[in-house]
Structure 1
Amino acid sequence: MFSSRSSGTYERLETGQGPSRGTLMRFAPWKKFALGAVVIIGLFYVLGPSKSRLIPGSVPSIGKPDTTNVDYSPPPPAPPAHVTAPVHDDDMLPSKPNKLPTGPENDPDLSKTVHCTVPYKSSVPLVQYALMIDAGSTGSRIHIYKFNNCGPSPMYEYEVFRMTKPGLSSYKGRPQEAAQSLDGLLDEAMKVVPEALRSCTPVAVKATAGLRLLGAAESAAILDAVTKRLHDKYPFSVQEPDGVVIMDGKDEGVYAWITVNYLMNTIRSDSPARAPTYAVLDLGGASTQVVFEPVFEKSDSKMEDGEHKYELAFGGKKHVLYQHSYLGYGLMRARQSVHRLVEFMGSLRGSASGANATVVNPCLAQGTSRLVEIEDERLGGKFNVTMVGQDVGSFESCNRIVELVMAKDAICETKPCSFNGVYQPSLLETFPSGKLLLLSYFYDRLQPFLAASKTLASAPLHVSTFGTLAEQVCRGKSTWTELWGGDAALMEELEGRPEWCLDLTFMHALLRLGYELGGEREVEVGKQIEGTELGWCLGATLAMVGADLKCRA
């Protein structure tokens, strides 16, 4: 059901913002714990294995009332391409192809559809395209979606996907260059969308965590330049009023949840009654999101009110979701924080530190090294150090560093909390047997191992899978050769990326320590469903095409 794109490993563009309405969950708590833990952590190089700390969830207490209400109805979205939508008998083509189009390469007519010959309503076109650009910190990617209007609501048929690097946030101080970086993506849209439909094709550019981290002035200049270039150079209709924006973190997570559950047919109007929904855990580069639909068995239990509560009307049904976006806990930002903490503790122990120093780091695999840029929060500025795994790199020692970074012991004002003091209903209690789908970097880091091992690929995946792989990878090249020496592609990956040890350890800690999932809990990883890219883009586009169609004059 979940498949990978043939073009290679999916390097997820950073997802998410911090908490909505301008409230950021800062990554600073590690400093509060670092000094108090130096004595213990300073021994991590010689200590043996230790068990991860798991704090069981407690009964929720009263929180601040603040409920978000979002309603996408009417109309409910239509089924994806592999599910036939209702059409009028007199509108059916004489013969429908056995295999529905999956892209422009096998679509007989880009301006028409195989599902019907006239639209359900005369006020809408037979075929409608929509463009969604995901502007992340490491790159930008475009989703060119095709819909038809054979039924009462737009029916999704397929997407065309393209990406480019670097991301908009790499063009700090160069807004015009940032805007021009999207030309290749939009030129692809010009090839796909028929000329007669371009003026009525909505386009949106939604930036995520990377651009927010630039600051208000820098990001605003880039967004203004992108808006102007879209108007001046391309014929598409820029979505109003939020066509080119930094997306709210809560919307991003919920849109990803909509995408997954829409494609899995759990939330559409034609979905089976009481179809269980998927929980979506998305790990980007700058942030990570969790969205699920908790079930409270006890009559006196409920979700606390607040920005984490998201009431969604979709497909004629109402869903009350829990969502949160942790800014600073994406994989790339977590790496930076781990390296910074290791260097900081080294300076307190009196070992070499500062510019051009060599620092022993247990989160690098044994026998590996990497030049790392450290952002000096004490004195300001940046400097380079050489991090080495030597013979101390290990899952257990690295895990203790990650525990500090995750601030599991932060004050929890409204219980229960996940980590960093954030309220979250217990997944163990309110989602005990629901399906968990892990996206983005979760998929990226696991997929090479699945490709290298038929046994691993054919067996159910569990939270403990990430821990087992982390233990093996952290041991270094001798273990790699023993386990995966016959797979040249995986060996090249491991040898060229010393932080595999850190990445897998952090992912395991996020699931086990952060979200308090049992090691035996089964999970799924995904990148595509039936050829459609997973993530927030389709969910956001469904909301866009379900609104009134506005064509450009």
Structure 2
Amino acid sequence: MLSPRSSNYKQLETGMGSSRVGGVRRFGWKKFVIGAGVIIGLVWVFGPRKEDMYEKYIPILRPAPLAEESTPVSPPASPSHNIHPSHSSQNQNQHSAGDDIVVGATPIPTSVDTDPDLSKTVHCTKPHKPDLPLVQYALMIDAGSTGSRIHIYKFNNCGPSPVYEYEVFKQTKPGLSDYEGKPLAAAESLDVLLDEAMRVVPQALRGCTPVAVKATAGLRLLGAEKSEEILEAIRHRLSEKYPFTLPEKDGVVIMDGSDEGVYAWITTNYLLKTIRADSPADVKSFAVLDLGGASTQIVFEPTLDMSKPDSTLEPGEHKYDLDFAGKKRVLYQHSYLGYGLMRARKSVHRLVDFMAFGKPGAEKEVANPCLAKGTKRVVEVEDEQLNPKRNVTMIGADVGSFESCNRVVELVMAKDAICEVKPCSFNGVYQPSLLETFPKGKIMLLSYFYDRIRPLIPADSAVPIHISTIATLAQQVCLGKPSWDEHWSHDSEAMKELEDRPEYCLDLTFMHALLRLGYEFSASREVELGKQVDGTELGWCLGATIAMVGADLKCRV
């Protein structure tokens, strides 16, 4: 298992990762028609100096700051419903002294579509070390519970460590866990992703391109035997059908939930420049909350008051010691298996079905307060003890409301579970108080948090998002179509999302309960919704890929 604990992360001190920092400064020329002497004087006083002209006319020559330089952190746009810094921030080069520098006005590629040569880089003409390729690609397949996604990352070796340039992203559905008992079909489902990698990665570089498939909670829930059959089928297909290099260890695995959360924390904070070697000492890292289909993770760097005897992080799997960019950090992390959005839906539907008349399947139609009013949905309900799967028609009717749904969700959250090591968040899991150890830090919400909340908020909205905002949205959605018409226009993105999705009420209510009841954030706490930074997907994949690129890999002959 590649772990963030690996020393490979020390390479980031020398600039590993996105080179998209800073920007090209612009200077305006002031022209006055008074006389030659006056013009010369004014130009001397107000005009750009030699170094300014260097930046203005040959911007690509200016290298990005290396790790030992002090670079101000560019905070995410506020409000930041979708973290998308301007692409103009990428117009800087990063290279090491002595490397050949590309001279000219060639724009820095930000995607495969703008890359003039996939086998080369505009940053330099030869690698920092002669035994390394000029350009290296790496493939990471995120095999989640609802679908599989490939991240094709391009790096260059212009500096002493690989420099990240951009990614190509493609996804497919359903996830590997939907192929229970059909391992070959599961392996073949990834072909569409790997074929995209064949299109992007130049033929000459494929043999030195590492590929990894990391499954998450969805496959983990199938059990060891069935999941291993699928993983073995994928290993065989990768080796036989595709020319990429499969690492000997941990190339195709089910990723541990703790690594999943920490990798996402690394990716997010690195791209937002809060944990880089050149980040200001007083900058605070983001807490990262990732909501998948089968599990949810929370990772944050608690601030501990050593003057208080009880201000410590209890030992255990939740404590994650991370040596990153030359700094030792202590993180709190936990992955809640069974509390992803799709699993939460199943738990709510099963509980509603049981409470209808005290036993499963008592009625053909069941009133469900977590479906929006006036909506109907046929759901599959499974009894954990008897294990029969049944289709049950559930209706929102007049019972659908945020308040009623929240009472059901509170039972699913198991907030009253036995807490052996205090304090606890929910389901009896130890978690230091966020109010005391992370009182003012920024919070980044990823994955389903973004997918469900973002479409309901106007793109041009300048109003910050608070946890109470999610409760308000849930109240509006749960009231059904009349409320939708009142709050969103007919042709809006929000209305397109809400149509034919009765469980949107459930989804928002669960998200609010997870943040408010589960983690005990205050209702007024501000949050960010993250999807990408400069075209790079947020999540665990880039963090995991950094370790793979930094490892010693043997090229395939």
User: What is the TM-score with the length of structure 1 in the denominator?
Assistant: 0.84
Which ranges of structure 1 fall in alignment gaps of 5 or more residues? 1-19, 21-67
Deviations 1:130-174 (A, max 9, x none): 000001122111000000111111110000001111111111111
Tell me whether 1:536 sits opposite 2:540 in the alignment. yes
Structure 1 pair 251–486 and aligned structure 2 pair: CA distance change class (3 A): same
* Residue 95 (structure 1) aligns with: 104
Tell me whether 1:517 sits opposite 2:521 in the alignment. yes
Report deviation, 1:515.
0.5
Partner of residue 451 from structure 2, selected from 429, 444, 454: 444
* Residue 48 (structure 2) aligns with: none
SS, match of residue 312 in structure 1: strand
Which ranges of structure 2 fall in alignment gaps of 5 or more residues? 22-63, 65-93
Tell me whether 1:391 sits opposite 2:329 in the alignment. no
Tell me whether 1:127 sits opposite 2:131 in the alignment. no
Aligned partners of 1:474 and 1:501 also within 8 Å: yes
Report deviation, 1:418.
0.5
Structure 1 pair 275–371 and aligned structure 2 pair: CA distance change class (3 A): same
Partner of residue 243 from structure 1, selected from 227, 238, 251: 251
| Amino acid aligned to 1:306 | G
- Larger relative contact order (CA 8 Å, sep ≥ 6): 1
The more displaced of 478-487 and 198-207 is 478-487
* Residue 437 (structure 2) aligns with: 430
* Residue 365 (structure 1) aligns with: 372
Partner of residue 331 from structure 1, selected from 337, 341, 358: 341
- Mapping of residues 135-214 of structure 1, within 5 Å: 135-214=143-222
SS, match of residue 377 in structure 1: coil
Please identify runs of 4+ aligned residues in structure 1 that moved more than 6 A: none
Report deviation, 1:88.
2.2
| Amino acid aligned to 2:404 | S
- Mapping of residues 3-22 of structure 1, within 5 Å: none
Aligned residues: 481
Aligned partners of 1:73 and 1:315 also within 8 Å: yes
- 1 CA distance for matches of 2:426 and 2:394? 27
SS, match of residue 141 in structure 2: strand
Partner of residue 264 from structure 1, selected from 269, 272, 276: 272
Report deviation, 1:70.
4.5
Aligned partners of 1:72 and 1:313 also within 8 Å: no
- 1 CA distance for matches of 2:111 and 2:119? 13
Aligned partners of 1:70 and 1:311 also within 8 Å: no
- Mapping of residues 452-531 of structure 1, within 5 Å: 454=460, 457-531=461-535
Bigger radius of gyration among the two: 2
| Amino acid aligned to 2:245 | S
Deviations 1:272-317 (A, max 9, x none): 2232111100001100000000001242211111001111111111
Report deviation, 1:96.
5.0
SS, match of residue 230 in structure 1: helix
* Residue 309 (structure 1) aligns with: 319
| Amino acid aligned to 2:219 | L
Partner of residue 20 from structure 2, selected from 71, 82, 87: 82
Structure 1 pair 548–69 and aligned structure 2 pair: CA distance change class (3 A): closer
User: What is the TM-score with the length of structure 2 in the denominator?
Assistant: 0.84
Aligned partners of 1:143 and 1:160 also within 8 Å: yes
- 2 CA distance for matches of 1:319 and 1:378? 43
Deviations 1:191-210 (A, max 9, x none): 11111111111000001111
* Residue 8 (structure 2) aligns with: 72
Partner of residue 552 from structure 2, selected from 544, 548, 551: 548
Report deviation, 1:79.
3.8
Q: CA RMSD in A?
A: 1.8
Aligned partners of 2:99 and 2:128 also within 8 Å: no
Report deviation, 1:86.
3.8
Deviations 1:445-487 (A, max 9, x none): 1121124x74xx3210001111011111111111111111343
Report deviation, 1:72.
3.2
